[in-house]
Each structure stands twice: as structure tokens, then as C-alpha cells.
Amino acid sequence: GAGVSQSPSNKVTEKGKDVELRCDPISGHTALYWYRQSLGQGLEFLIYFQGNSAPDKSGLPSDRFSAERTGGSVSTLTIQRTQQEDSAVYLCASSSQPAANYNEQFFGPGTRLTVL
């Protein structure tokens, strides 16, 4: 079956521009996560969605970052007024069970964002 998909795979933007990154989770997965992978830094949790509940935004690094999930499926991560330090690979993951991180998270291939 189809895995987690993300688009675009690569995005190059100029400093100060807004960008939108899209994630399509595995069909039927209720939990969705965004992580950021910076060079040499491992993965950093950004935000978590579970069904129709309010998301946990505790990992978002600044108010320039926001995310939404429509219809409990597709999610969009938006970065406003991008800065060079936002350059990273943004990974989306989904899992079939809520709020329990002993459940396997399935990762998409990521979006590589480069801010010039």
C-alpha cells in the first residue's frame, strides 16, 4: 500500500518568503507528526495531530511556523518569512494509534527546504 508522501521533495526559496509543505499520511492513520532534520542535529519534533483534537504545537520553534490538518488527513506545514536557519529536511510521519509512542511511526521521504 501507499506510504506517507510529501511534496515538494525539494524547495528553494528566498529569505522572507512564505513556504507550504504538504504531507499525505497513510490512509486510516489518525496520528500525524512533523519533524525537522537539520544537518548534524538529528530529528526535532515540531507538531503532533491526533484526529480532530487540538494539535500539540509545543515543538514549533517560533510563531512563524504553523500547521493544519484538514479532514483528519492531509497536513500542511507553513513557514512564514523564512530565514536561512529554517533550511532543513522536514519529515512527516503517521501512525495508526493515538498518543502512544510505542506505536511505529511511518515516515515520508521528507521535503528538503533551502532558504537562500
Partner 1 sequence: AQSVTQPDIHITVSEGASLELRCNYSYGATPYLFWYVQSPGQGLQLLLKYFSGDTLVQGIKGFEAEFKRSQSSFNLRKPSVHWSDAAEYFCAVGSNSGYALNFGKGTSLLVTP
Task: Give residues with Cβ within 8 angstroms of 31, minimum separation 6.
Answer: 48, 49, 50, 94, 95, 96, 97, 98, 99, 103, 105
Q: How far is the CB of 52 from partner 1 (least distance, A)?
A: 16
What whole-number distance in Å separates Cα of residue 51 and Cα of residue 48?
10
Give the nearer residue to partner 1 in terms of CB position, either 3 or 61: 3
Where do we find the cell 506510504? 3
Task: Give residues with Cβ within 8 angstroms of 71, minimum separation 6.
Answer: none
Cell readout for 62 is 517560533
- For residue 101, state whether it binds partner 1 (rule: CB under 8 A): yes
Give the nearer residue to partner 1 in terms of CB position, either 39 or 63: 39
Give the nearer residue to partner 1 in terms of CB position, either 46 or 115: 46
- For residue 77, state whether it binds partner 1 (rule: CB under 8 A): no
**Interface of this chain with partner 1, residues 45 to 64, rule: CB under 8 A:** 45, 48, 50, 56, 59
Give the nearer residue to partner 1 in terms of CB position, either 13 or 45: 45
Q: What angle do CA 90, 70, 13 make, to 5 degrees?
A: 35
- For residue 91, state whether it binds partner 1 (rule: CB under 8 A): yes
| Residues in touch with partner 1 (CB under 8 A) | 3-4, 31, 33, 35, 40-43, 45, 48, 50, 56, 59, 91, 93, 98-102, 104-110
